[in-house]
Amino acid sequence: MPEIALSQAPAHIRMGSSIGQSLTRREGVLKTTGTARFAADNHPPGMVYAVLAVSSIARGRVTSLDVAAAKAHSGVIEVMTPANTPRLAQDPDAKLHPFMFRIEVLQNDTVRYVNQPIAVVVAETLEAATEGALLLAPAYETEPARTGLDSNDSFIPQAVGAGGPAEETHGDVDAGLAAASARIEAVYETPAQYHNAMEPHSVVAAWDGNTLSLDMPTQAMAMTQGRIAGLFGIAPEDIHIRSPFLGGGFGSKALGSGPQVLGIIAARLVGRPVKLVLRREQMFGPVGHRAPTRQTMRLGTDDQGALTALSHHVKTATSTFDDFIEPAANASHALYASPAIKTSHEAVRLDTGTPLFMRAPGEAPGSAALESAIDEMALACGMDPLAFRLKNYAEVEPMSGKPFSSKALRQCYEQGAERFGWAARPLAPRQMRDDAGMLVGWGMGTAVFPALMFQGHARAVLRQDGTGVVEIGAHDMGQGAWTALAQIAADALGLDPDQTEFRSGTSDLPDAGIAGGSAHTATAGAAIHDAGGDVIAKLADLATGDQRSPLFGANNAGVIARGGRLYRRDDEARSESYTDILTRAGHAEIEGRGTGASDPAALSAYAMYAHGAVFAEVKVDPDFGQVRVTRLVGAFAAGTVVNPRMVRSQYYGGMIWGVSFALHEHAVMDKRTGRPMNPNLAEYHVPVNADVPNIEAILVEERDVHVNALGIKGVGEIGITGTAGAIANAVWHATGVRVRRFPITLDQLIGA
């Protein structure tokens, strides 16, 4: 790979043997043997158990709780209700920045949604706490629940997502549609979807005076630390969070949740360490979800199949007490060239928990509608879906006109189509059957996700014995961060991976930023790269300024760090080991610091995205409408690939989530009560092994010198954005039935 110059000239690093290798997971043995310690695996001395009692109504107030019955139960220590819950130093409804959301922590008796915490029972055993919670027998004053997108007046939100505009326009959409030779208008619906990571939200909290120790799954330790510090009126540095492993996060663990805060309050109230773990059904409410959407797509083309206008309008939902608006229409900003584009959002307030970030927020539901509409438009033009996409290929970002920092989408189309065999696809539907008489269909979808970065920090140390240490408060929720970031660390220090100690997962280490938005490897990796550059620069200064060193006077030429040695760039025969440099200088170790963040100049000049193309094969029973995905091929371009094994794993996960979106996942709500009817993994359907088809992920080579110093783009969420639409399009190709309501269920296809 090419040499990467660091800002701390004269030192330079050559990206070496570690980046680009498919190394196995560093924590793999721990996880497969059950010795990896997740938050709820911790049991400090004297620990007791807390269990939530939650509301069974969506709107109203709690009028009574049988606290006496619960406290009379053997083993129950305390029952925490709004009557005795300590007041917090900060209003839990305060919103001081866009990533702060209102939480329910027993500050009053109001009920805002089903499964809202209404009490906490603390006991010596989990069984006693659970039975005590059942004895509370709450009574309510109930008001009618507002459920569904038509149950309340809509409004235009001030912002969508993390603060973006609700409406954006480029060109004259109405004029473009009026001038079009072919037009379509269609409405697509996506359901509410709820976070169901294998590890539920939990906390083990222990107070020692005003210092607080927490074991909890979090995707943003420093942000969570600051939020908790504000709520309890203590300094952030007095809070120590341990979060080495997460059993999945997907956005729901990016912010401290109300139940976790209640566990911390309970620990302070009883004066003992407390463990609180949500039951599966309790995750349907207080920890965020993806809101339902109703999306109206209007497209027009000229007589050559070129888009003349694209309009994408979204109606979605938020809670009655806070705002998070799914930015679904934003999926139409970046993919297809059109002289006129308009995206807009409206919302209704429902009696639910507040929707929050959920894997590929906005892009997942938005791309499902967009990619379905693109196929419908291709049909109206009589064009092959891939040919139509290539006809409307965007050479610059359509909405802004910015050039892309890099874009290898054509190569994704080409390589994916060739591997899948797309050229053999008949244009008309219902033309293919297998030997068993099943209808066979082929569909495709374009994948896209912004190449985001947050801000992170790292510390790097070189020791006199020739080994190194890199420290960063990063988060591994299954994506392979412990491995990929360690590879970057080794290369940044010019060492082999087995010579580099990697420390992560606690809040006393430098803040790595948020593990979200598919930005963690880029953010934390850039910080590590910068820290390595800093320490190598200091080491180079020691050597090049020392007349006893073979590197003396190499300041202008610079040096290369590789294999535990510094080499003169202009004469690699002259080198010296890290050990010799530090020993002669009398240093036991030398330290560097680094920061990873977006370059504002690059952000203003370029549009930054990862791209891909997903091709799907489905088989549909013509009598019963049952759909099976039998083959998926995805081709993705996402800049520098640190670890191909980890990247493929992320692409597979994204495509499987796309299968879930298209065919399985759906929160069924009782419209009368606002109660989720399937709050468990038996009835809230997600793919199991039998549902996962033959999957292949192609890593398309791409180099991006603008996105960050390492050229890394995110890979975690992009796989969803192409897959759901590809499957919907394949179902149409198999059956001739265009289903516009997700998930695609057999009742919509029976007799197809």
pLDDT of 255: 84
Which pTM does this prediction carry? 0.95
Q: pLDDT band for position 697 (50/70/90)?
A: very high
Domains with residue ranges and CATH for the chain: 3-36+454-597 (3.30.365.10), 39-143+205-277 (3.90.1170.50), 289-452+604-748 (3.30.365.10)
Name the catalytic one among 471, 617, 702, 717: 717
Reading the block at residue 630, the tokens are 């039998």
Q: What percent of the chain has pLDDT over 70?
A: 98
pLDDT of 415: 98
In DSSP notation, 173-229 reads HHHHHHT-SEEEEEEEEE--EE---SS--EEEEEEETTEEEEE---S-HHHHHHHHH
Give the model confidence (pLDDT) of 362-403 as tens digits.
999 999 999 999 999 999 999 999 999 999 999 999 999 999
- Say yes or no to pLDDT of 12 above 60: no
- Say yes or no to pLDDT of 3 above 60: no
- Would you call 741 helix, strand, or coil by DSSP? strand
Give the model confidence (pLDDT) of 284-329 as tens digits.
999 999 999 999 999 999 999 999 999 999 999 999 999 999 999 9
Rg (the chain; Cα; Å): 27
Give the model confidence (pLDDT) of 402-450 as tens digits.
999 999 999 999 999 999 999 999 999 999 999 999 999 999 999 999 9
Give the model confidence (pLDDT) of 443-459 as tens digits.
999 999 999 999 999 99
Three-class DSSP labels, 81-92: CCCCCCCCCCCC
Cβ distance 54 to 130 under 8 Å? no
Average pLDDT, the chain: 95
- Would you call 642 helix, strand, or coil by DSSP? coil
**Mean pLDDT of the region 151-175:** 96
Which residues contact residue 212 at a Cβ distance below 8 angstroms, ignoring those fewer than 6 apart?
205, 206, 228, 232, 234, 238, 239, 240, 264
Reading the block at residue 608, the tokens are 């930054």
**Mean pLDDT of the region 735-739:** 97
Give the model confidence (pLDDT) of 630-644 as tens digits.
999 999 999 999 999
Kindly state the helix (H) or strand (E) to which residue 341 belongs, with its residue range: strand 341-350
Amino acid at 104: E
The single residue listed with the structure tokens 């609180």 is 276
Alpha-helical segments (H) within 10-88: 28-32, 67-72
- Say yes or no to pLDDT of 4 above 60: no
- Say yes or no to pLDDT of 13 above 50: no
The question of whether 717 is a catalytic residue gets the answer yes
Give the model confidence (pLDDT) of 164-196 as tens digits.
999 999 999 999 999 999 999 999 999 999 999
pLDDT of 544: 95
Alpha-helical segments (H) within 381-451: 385-391, 409-420
Q: What is the DSSP letter of 511?
A: B
